[in-house]
């Protein structure tokens, strides 16, 4: 076996004899073990994997893939996990034989690479539920990314690091569908039994992050811990809040609140001891980012150590053009959690007092904030609704409803009702309040109305978290049955009732009934839920006779 040399001046701990034989690798080239951020950045620059922007962040481009490839994700179907997995479009099966063939070819590809970079990291801030993950890649910047995103062990712990999960990353290797059982040359293959992930045919770094989230979504529920696609923060007195939401709803923006302490921005577990982050970093969308709107996140994009994906730089000044979407609208920043000034160092919090479901309703009909009953919480959690703005091709401007169970269907392994039942039990046990917050459109649908003001959304969330809505009157929405606070400090009253923001009330009613029908149609696939949960959704048109501002009981 060739000597695995080092060219960096690393600490003696990192220089101890290391081997990749446990991962089935016998590389012929140079292997770099657990380089720290600056070393990885310098290696990435030396290898011409990207460039530096003004103020020092590293810029990488991932074309042709500028987002995840969910249709290329597979789970190995074997006797050990077959009965657990919710097989279908999300969890596409691949045979053990195809996995073995792909693994052999990925190993051969990595063995022949001139250089390999290895990072030993943790997934899960609670030691009781933590995975020890070994990442192997031929690219330095990708390993800088995972080092940003996951939990970095103390150097003294590296000598005895014992990985219980492996991720082999081969971005330049393309699978052969006939041989490997994939759909295309791109592949993200999870073997839950052998605790291994293979990623190739794509340079998009998000696959390295989200594949481990999928793993946690499988392992933690088996241990009685709810895995969640949500951000989390805490107030000065330790009160924890969760923020669920799909991409574009404001999950990262609203959790990175200067008035609160950030636990994490994307993935968490809820155990008997409270909430814990899976990660040690953040992965924020930065399209149209501004220092005025999101000062803490903007500040990270001016720091060495941050990785910017697919942003456009001014050719002369090397400043980022945050409003430039010529490469993709899905521009991203990866940075360590401690780059946010008020972050929680240990990534843990207590049981949440408040849970917030975020939606960006481009139809313009959902209220900006409403409190949910326990049954409504289950209904809207299983629905996982947001709306995306359609493209302008052929003049189409109609919003497109998106329903993603548990606000993260593409990352679930078990059936969605398993996660929903666990959430329901936790909400009941700990008395958590649940709020639905619409960060989408007001005064009309997309193209007519305007996006909800971030200032107003922050005021509403602050009021909910600080208990300022505990004693106000709540009004009933006639179609969705949602409880809307009659007043929120700092927010104009007319903003709270969406119908009042429309110039044409009849047009609002028509749009609201249309969206309600979409909710009901989507929910038909959940055949096993109780009537109480099913009836907590939007009313049929014939049932929607509740006066618009009929008072509901407080509490």
The catalytic site residues sit at 68, 210, 229, 247, 251-252, 266, 332
* CA end-to-end distance (rounded Å), the chain: 69
**How does strand 196-200 pair with strand 165-170?**
parallel
Report the distance separating Cα 433 and Cα 430, nearest Å: 9
The separation between CA 4 and the C-alpha centre of its own chain, rounded to angstroms, equals 36
CB 353, CB 466: distance < 8 Å? no
Cα separation values, 94 from 82, 98, 126, Å: 11, 7, 32
Q: Do you find a cis peptide bond into 132, omega within 30 degrees of 0?
A: no
Report which DSSP code applies to 411.
G
SS3 313: strand
Among 157, 146, 155, 159, CA closest to 40: 146
Report which DSSP code applies to 441.
E
Report the distance separating Cα 85 and Cα 91, nearest Å: 7
- In 375-416 the beta strands, taken as DSSP E runs, fall at 385-388, 400-403
Burial class, 21, CB count within 10 angstroms (exposed 0-12 / middle 13-18 / buried 19+): exposed
The backbone torsions φ and ψ at residue 353, rounded to the nearest 5 degrees and listed phi first, read -85, -25
Cα separation values, 56 from 53, 307, 532, Å: 6, 9, 54
Burial class, 48, CB count within 10 angstroms (exposed 0-12 / middle 13-18 / buried 19+): exposed
């Amino acid at each position: 076996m060739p000597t695995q040399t080092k060219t960096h001046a690393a600490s003696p701990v990192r220089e101890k004899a290391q081997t990749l034989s446990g991962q089935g690798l016998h590389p012929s080239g140079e292997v770099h073990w657990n380089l720290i951020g600056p070393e990885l950045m310098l290696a990435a620059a030396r290898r011409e994997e990207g460039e530096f922007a003004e103020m020092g962040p590293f810029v990488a481009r991932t074309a042709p893939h500028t987002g995840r490839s969910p249709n290329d994700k597979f789970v190995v179907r074997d006797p050990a996990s077959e009965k657990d997995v919710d097989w279908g479009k999300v969890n596409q099966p691949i045979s053990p034989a195809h996995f073995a063939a792909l693994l052999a070819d990925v190993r051969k590809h990595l063995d022949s690479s001139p250089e390999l970079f290895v990072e030993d990291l943790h997934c899960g801030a609670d030691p009781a539920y933590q995975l020890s993950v070994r990442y192997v890649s031929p690219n330095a910047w990708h390993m800088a990314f995972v080092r940003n995103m996951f939990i970095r062990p103390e150097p003294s712990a590296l000598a005895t690091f014992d990985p219980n999960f492996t991720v082999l990353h081969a971005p330049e290797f393309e699978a052969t569908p006939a041989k490997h059982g994939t759909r295309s040359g791109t592949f993200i293959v999870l073997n839950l039994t052998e605790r291994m992930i293979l990623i190739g045919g794509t340079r998009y770094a998000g696959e390295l992050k989200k594949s481990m989230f999928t793993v946690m979504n499988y392992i933690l529920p088996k241990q009685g811990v709810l895995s969640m696609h949500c951000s989390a923060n805490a107030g000065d007195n330790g009160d924890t809040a969760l923020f669920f939401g799909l991409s574009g709803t404001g999950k990262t923006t609203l959790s990175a609140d200067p008035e609160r302490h950030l636990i994490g921005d994307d993935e968490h577990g809820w155990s008997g001891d409270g909430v814990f982050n899976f990660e040690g970093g953040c992965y924020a969308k930065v399209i149209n980012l501004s220092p005025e709107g999101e000062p803490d996140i903007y500040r990270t994009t001016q720091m060495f150590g941050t990785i910017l994906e697919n942003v456009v730089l001014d050719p002369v000044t090397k400043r980022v053009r945050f409003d430039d979407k010529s490469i993709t609208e899905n521009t991203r920043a990866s940075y360590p959690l401690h780059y946010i000034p008020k972050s929680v160092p240990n990534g843990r919090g207590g049981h949440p007092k408040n849970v917030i479901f975020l939606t960006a309703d481009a139809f313009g009909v959902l209220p900006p904030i409403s409190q949910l009953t326990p049954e409504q919480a289950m209904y809207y959690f299983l629905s996982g609704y947001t709306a995306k703005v359609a493209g302008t091709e052929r003049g189409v401007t109609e919003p497109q409803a998106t329903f993603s169970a548990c606000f993260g269907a593409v990352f679930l392994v078990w059936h969605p009702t398993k996660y929903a039942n666990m959430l329901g039990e936790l909400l009941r046990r700990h008395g958590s309040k649940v709020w639905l917050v619409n960060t989408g459109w007001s005064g009309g649908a997309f193209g007519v109305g305007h996006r909800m003001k971030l200032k107003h959304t922050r005021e509403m969330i602050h009021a909910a978290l600080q208990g300022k809505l505990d004693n106000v009157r709540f009004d009933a929405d006639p179609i969705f049955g949602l409880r809307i606070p009659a007043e929120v400090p700092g927010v104009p009253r007319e903003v709270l009732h969406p119908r009042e923001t429309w110039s044409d009330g009849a047009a609002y009613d028509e749009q609201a009934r249309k969206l309600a029908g979409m909710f009901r149609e989507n929910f038909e696939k959940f055949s096993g839920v109780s009537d109480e949960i099913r009836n907590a959704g939007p009313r049929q048109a014939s049932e929607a006779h509740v006066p618009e501002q009929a008072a509901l009981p407080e509490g």
